[in-house]
Amino acid sequence: MIPLIDRWNSVGRPRVCVIGDLILDCYHWGAAERISPEAPVLVLRSEGEEDRLGGAASVASLLRGLNCDVSLIGIVGDDVEGRRIKTLVAEMGVDPRPIIVDPSRPTTKKTRILGSTNQRQPHQLLRLDRECTRLVDGELEQTLIDAITAAIPQASMVLVSDYGKGCCTPVLLRTIFDVAKRHGIPVAVDPAKNVSYDRYRNASILTPNRTEASAATGTKIHTSIDAANAGRKLCVDLDIQTVVLKLDREGLVICHRTEPPQVVQTVPRTVCDVTGAGDMVLAVLGLCLANDWSLTDAAEVANVAAGLEVERVGVTQISREEIAASLRAAKSRTTHQKVVTCEFAGELADRYRQEGRKITFTNGCFDLFHAGHLHSLEQAGSHGDILFVAVNDDSSISRLKGSGRPIIPQEQRLAIVAALSCVDHVILMDEDTPHRILNSVRPHVLAKGAPYTPSQVVGGEIVLEYGGTIAITETLPDLSTTLLQARIATGS
């Protein structure tokens, strides 16, 4: 299997067709220095302003930042803001001609006022929106349909960014799905808030956030399990292949109609501004899927990219190199992140069970780590999909083995076990038995090396009681920490 970082570094440059509501994002920056004498409000000393592309144009911009070929279709008003969007689109190397002008509506514009103090990171103080949400119809709708019919066959992927500003009519969406299906091109839709989701019927992929999915299904979404249930309901009700549900800091949940859900966890980030995170998820999913990636791998990279996006103010392009660097950093953090608490191990195990994955557990001291330990852990891992390993802490080893043990301190033993590819999670065990951890993780299989028999495995009664099994793994002859210690002591 090709590592994810290597796949990302070799990702191609496909053409992605982006369709949806076009927005001009206007940022006004200022230093908050005092309170106005006229009213109890902040006075900002203006330090500049900037226009950026928003909505579907934001998705196109993020794709261009990822070195992707893009076609963009949407509507603007016959006004300064509409012309500004066309100019910005042309400047980033995208043909603005498929952007249709509607003289009867204003261009959607979001003006954000951001203030900072003492050179700190600026934060939004106010947002002023100017918009028209009336659905396009008649000749204008047909003009958009003509542009879509011409553009989709030239693309490898279609992304629909529906902000509920009137572009994505039910007729328009049906046309997109029909034309794309006819040409074998997948369509991913980022849905609007407060609309009937029936308009998204037959989309390939739907990417709602927690609030949107909750409103669409009438259910509260607090956990990944709730998200999986809501996503599956959307798949079934709307005849959609896949729902990728965005849970902010909790990552993404990939839901299918019949297959088990998958949870793609995120790395904790310092959140500066959530603006653009959803657009980034859609853009990266589009780029990866256009390169025939699996949805799981695409979601992994999309999660990383969205994490980078929330660390910045406003919608900001992220380069392929920045994502690659973050993927490398995530890989280097893997060993440390494998070490989890007993409580968090239980939460992880619940997620894995929801995904239909088989959990295996084993435990030991792993002092003076040797080939026998490695063989035993690899055998334990072969009994399931996810391997949890409990490692005795120093004090429990001293109680079990005597005052001369352990030889290797617990931090180093944890790091050694966590570094193994066959091990998914490591728990420091500060008790003489694994009973508390077993009750938390509830593995399908409890593995232990010979010469133990199933009846002798400590904690086996817990696993058997809820229907789990015990597996006895093979051991390599004449290999143990006690024998190694004796050899070292005698120099033999």
DSSP string, 310-355: TTSSSS----HHHHHHHHHHHHHTHHHHHEE-HHHHHHHHHHHHHT
User: Catalytic site residues?
Assistant: 279
Residue 208 counted as domain residue:
no
Among 291, 307, 332, the domain-final residue is 332
Residue 117 counted as domain residue:
no
Query: Mind listing the pLDDT tens digit of every residue in the chain (492 residues)?
Result: 567 888 898 899 999 999 999 999 999 988 888 898 999 888 888 888 999 999 999 999 999 999 999 999 999 999 999 999 999 999 999 999 999 999 999 999 999 998 887 656 677 889 999 999 999 999 999 999 999 999 999 999 999 999 999 999 999 999 999 999 999 999 999 999 989 999 999 999 999 999 999 999 999 998 888 899 999 999 999 999 999 999 887 788 999 888 888 888 766 555 555 677 899 999 999 999 999 999 999 999 998 898 888 777 777 888 899 898 888 766 554 555 688 888 888 988 887 887 778 999 999 999 878 888 888 899 999 999 899 999 999 999 998 888 878 888 888 889 889 888 889 899 999 888 999 999 999 999 999 987 778 888 999 999 999 999 999 988 776 656 566 655 665 665
> Quick one: 458 and 395 in the same domain?
yes
> Quick one: 320 and 348 in the same domain?
no
Residue 242 counted as domain residue:
no
Burial per residue of 50-68, b for 16 or more beta-carbon CB atoms within 10 angstroms, e otherwise: eebbbbbbbbbbbbbbbeb
> Quick one: 415 and 297 in the same domain?
no
pLDDT of residue 357: 83
pLDDT of residue 477: 65
- Determine phi and psi for 387, rounding to 5 degrees: -115, 120
> Quick one: 283 and 421 in the same domain?
no
Residue 257 counted as domain residue:
no
What dihedral angle (degrees, nearest 10) is formed by the CA atoms of 261, 341, 249, 310? Answer: -130
Q: Are strands 252-256 and 242-246 parallel, antiparallel or unpaired?
A: antiparallel
Q: What is the CATH number of the domain that holds 104?
A: 3.40.1190.20
> Quick one: 325 and 362 in the same domain?
no
> Quick one: 286 and 421 in the same domain?
no
Count of domains for the chain: 2
> Quick one: 400 and 273 in the same domain?
no
Residue 390 counted as domain residue:
yes
> Quick one: 63 and 163 in the same domain?
yes
How far apart are alpha carbons 137 and 166 in whole angstroms? 9
How far apart are alpha carbons 266 and 117 in whole angstroms? 30
> Quick one: 421 and 285 in the same domain?
no
Domain that holds residue 477: 336-490
How far apart are alpha carbons 61 and 287 in whole angstroms? 13
> Quick one: 364 and 484 in the same domain?
yes
Among 332, 355, 373, the domain-final residue is 332
> Quick one: 13 and 59 in the same domain?
yes
Residue 432 counted as domain residue:
yes
Q: What is the CATH number of the domain that holds 346?
A: 3.40.50.620
Residue 40 counted as domain residue:
no
Q: What does the pLDDT look like over 269-298, one tens digit per residue?
A: 555 556 778 999 999 999 999 999 999 999
Check: CB of residue 18 under 8 Å from CB of residue 73: yes
Nearest by Cα to 261 from 221, 225, 222:
225
Token representation of residue 39: 């009213």
> Quick one: 289 and 344 in the same domain?
no
Residue 248 counted as domain residue:
no
Among 332, 352, 373, the domain-final residue is 332
